[in-house]
Each structure stands twice: as C-alpha cells, then as structure tokens.
Amino acid sequence: MSDKKEVLFSKKNRKLLTDPLNDNNPVTTQVLGICSALAITVQLKPAIVMAISVLVVMSVANVVVSLMRNLIPSRIRIIVQLVVIAALVILVDQVLKAFVYDVSKELSVFVGLIITNCIIMGRLEAFALGNGVWKSFLDGLGNAFGYGWILIAVAFFRELLGAGTLFGFPVIEKLGLYEIGYENNGMMILPPMALVTVGIIIWIQRTKNRDLIES
C-alpha cells in the first residue's frame, strides 16, 4: 500500500482516466473490442446501453480482481477473471432485461459477449492484477469511457446517415432534406461502414498525433 499517501486525483491517477480517451484508446490505438463496435453501432440507443454496460462491468471487475489480486494463484488467474466478468455480465444482462427489454433484445447475444471483450480481459491482466483498488477503478473507468465514446461516435454517424434518425427521432425528415432529393445511405447500415468509420477516426487521430503511427 505504497500509494496510500497519494492524493485521490493525483496527476498520475488523472492520467489513468484520460489516457485511454485519446492517445491510448483501447479501440483506435490498441484495436481491441472491434467486433462489438461493428455489431451494435447501427443505432445510438443500443450503442449507449452497450457503452454503459461495459463501463459497469469493466470498472467493477477491475475493482474486484484488484481486491483479490494477492489471493489468486497465478496459474488459474485467467479462469478466476472469467468467473468475475461472467458473473457481472449476467447481472448486467438481467438488469437490462428487467428495465430496457427492447434494447436488451436488440443487443441480443452481444451483452453476453461482453465476457469475451478483449478490452476487459486485457485490463484485468495488464492492470488490475498489479495495481491498487482505486487505481484499478480509474483505469477501468477510463478504458470503458475510451471504448464508449468511439462506440457512440460511430453509432451517431451510422444512425444519422444510414437511417436519418438520432435516438429514433427523424432528424433528416424534420430538416426537410428528403424533399430536396436527399436519401439515406444504405451502406452505413452494413457492417463494413462501421469499420470504415472507425478507420476514419483512427486516421484523424494519427494525423493529429503522429507519434501513434506505427513504423
């Protein structure tokens, strides 16, 4: 417990929270969790629900594993981590089914597949197993936000351009763009465009921060 005297939001801790938002983003820099970014970003609402679900699972799992980190024999650590994540995912799934049934139906297997989301596993392995509870919590939160904002950004463009709506609200129709000949782009609904959209975000990010470009 060497970090006991450290302030709650010291510079180092703040970095844990803000780094994954941009320069060390789990999706755009580490290229993890791509599968869910493709699958559930057709509309904004499921994307936001997914982002929140991952946020909950990731931050709590990080805290739990960090608490247990000195008890887990390293030979079986992966299975222990999986049990923790799986328990949390089932909890989240049940909550979604109880309160936002239609969205949970739309997300279908992808809630269950949070278990296999490499970002969560990666953070548990790389961070929570070796760091204190508070730091792990911040790390989980930061990475979940980093993942979430990409998801929401992609979903924003896909829903707006693909279906002409935002949260189901017919934005394009209200703006009167259909009357002057505009039509929705059917390709934005298809999974490849999610990949292209993520690609464009990565492109912009690396143009701004050239250190991220791989040699």
Partner 1 sequence: MKLFKNLLNVVKPHFENGGKLEKLYPAYDAFETFLFVPNHTTNKGSHIRDAIDLKRTMFMVIVALIPCMLFGMWNVGYQYHLAIGESVSIFENFIFGFWKFLPLIIISYVVGLAVEFAFAIYRGHSVNEGYLVTGLLIPLTMPIDVPLWMLAVSVIFAVVIGKEVFGGTGMNILNPALTARAFLFFAHPIYMSGDKVWVHDAMVDGHSGSTILGELAASSNWQSLSFNPFDMMMGTIPGSVGETSFIAIMLGAVILIATGIGSWRIILSTFIGGFAMASLFNFWGANELMTTPAEIHLIIGSFAFGAVFMATDPVTGSQTNKGKYIYGFLIGVFAILIRVFNPAYPEGMMLAILLMNIFAPLVDHYVIQGNIKRRLKRANA
List residues near partner 1 by CB under 8 A: 181-183, 185-188, 190, 196, 199-200, 203
- For residues 86 and 83, give the distance between their C-alpha atoms in angstroms, rounded to a whole number: 5
Q: Where are the beta strands (DSSP E) in the chain?
A: none
> Shortest Cβ distance from residue 34 to partner 1 (Å)?
17
Contact of 41 with 47, CB cutoff 8 Å: yes
Q: Judged by CB, which is closer to partner 1: 179, or 183?
A: 183
Segment (H or E) for 64: helix 44-68
- The smaller minimum CB distance to partner 1, of residues 102 and 183, is found at 183
Bridge partners of residue 183, in order along the sequence? none
Least distance to partner 1, CB of residue 131, Å: 37
Minimum distance, C-beta of residue 207 to partner 1, in the bound complex (Å) = 10
**Nearer of residues 26 and 162 to partner 1, judged by Cβ:** 162
Shortest CB 187 distance to partner 1, Å? 4
User: What tokens were used for 59?
Assistant: 């931050």
CB atoms within 10 A of CB 200: 12
> 36: Cβ–Cβ under 8 A, 6 or more apart, which residues?
50, 110, 113, 114, 117, 151
169 forms bridges with which residues in the sheet?
A: 166
Tell me which residue of 87, 52, 43, 80 sits closest to 65, measured CA to CA: 80
Token readout for 160 is 């707006």
Name the residue nearer to partner 1 (CB basis): 85 or 194.
Answer: 194
Min. distance of Cβ 28 from partner 1 in angstroms?
15
> Based on CB atoms, which residue is closest to partner 1, 115 or 189?
189
